[in-house]
Amino acid sequence: MLSPLLSPLAAGSGLSLLAAAPGELTNVAIAAAATSIAILLALVVVKRFRYVCRPSEALVFAGRSQRSHGGPRVILGRARKGDDNPGSGQGGAWRLPFVERVDRIDMRTHSIDIIVQNAYSTGNIPLRIHAIANVKVHSDPKLIRNAIERFLNQSPDEIRRVAQQTLEGALREVVAKMTPEKVNSDRLTFAKSLSDTADDDLNKLGLQLDTLKIQSVSDDTGYLDSLGRPQIAAALRDAENAENQARQEIAESQALANEVASVAKAEAETAIVRQRNALTQLEAELVG
């Protein structure tokens, strides 16, 4: 207890407030601790139940939400304008504790080498074809569910393996309907036919073909090389014929020019002879 002499000093310095309200300080400390705990718990809840989707993946929420959406709830890593599918979202979502599980599916593009041996074209000509395709999980909310059923929790190698087998089968199917000449000379049409043929099968798998490029077309029988030889020979023959024709035209022009010059020379000489004869006759008349 402060003495009467020190009471005015204590009152002036504010010590009386500290001495008079120890309960209030305790309440403030408790409130601060409770606030810190609440913030910490909120961070823990956010960390455990809030899922953010990266641009290269999709989140799959399985559990109670499947009943209301007709399947897993899918959250894509990028916004989709005009998307009215109730089972999809963008960016991130909350997981319902104890009733939902969250998995991630890879949405990155996979480059696939397609090398097919003995792809028989029309006429039973076996071809060797090398193509490169870029394939990824389909971003359509309806088709991505096919990929979820097939590839959820599978490695990217499994996606590449299945896509490669699908494209190889489609390639053989397209080649069987085309001639070797068409496959080799019109590769854009060949690639488009291959894409159109593979689309249905890839959609059933929930996959999407981004690009497809035919790198090379060859065969072990030498058929394609033999097709080029007559064309090369014909081109050389046409060039030689054109050169001979040009030489002939030059020779004819020179001959015509020489003939014209000869005629002109003969006419000039004839005119000179006539003038000389006329002059001689005139001289004879003058003398006689």
The pLDDT tens digits of the residues spanning 138-181 come to 988 889 989 988 998 888 999 999 999 999 999 999 999 998 88
Q: How far apart are CA 219 and CA 123, in angstroms?
A: 13
Max intra-chain CA distance, the chain: 186
Residue 268 phi, psi (nearest 5) = -65, -45
Domain hosting 84: range is 50-106
User: CA distances (Å), 17 to each of 5, 27, 30, 31, 226, in order?
Assistant: 17, 15, 19, 20, 108
Say whether both 147 and 214 belong to one domain: yes
Domain count, the chain: 3
Q: Are residues 61 and 144 in the same domain?
A: no
Classify residue 61: in a domain, yes or no. Answer: yes
Beta bridge partners of 135: 110, 209
**Verdict on whether the full-model pTM lies above 0.85:** no
Q: Taking a C-beta distance cutoff of 8 angstroms, is the pair 207, 149 a contact?
A: no
Q: How many CB atoms lie within 10 A of CB 62?
A: 16
Domain membership of residue 270 (yes or no) is no
Same domain flag for 117 and 211? yes
The verdict on 214 and 150 lying in the same domain is: yes
Is 137 contained in some domain?
yes
Three-class DSSP labels, 192-238 = HHHHHHHHHHHHHHCEEEEEEEEEEEECCCCHHHHHHHHHHHHHHHH
Read off the CATH number of the domain in which 177 is found. Answer: 3.30.479.30
Q: Is residue 3 part of a domain?
A: no
* Same-domain check for residues 168 and 237: no
pLDDT in tens, 171-226: 999 999 998 889 988 889 999 999 999 999 999 999 999 999 999 998 887 777 77
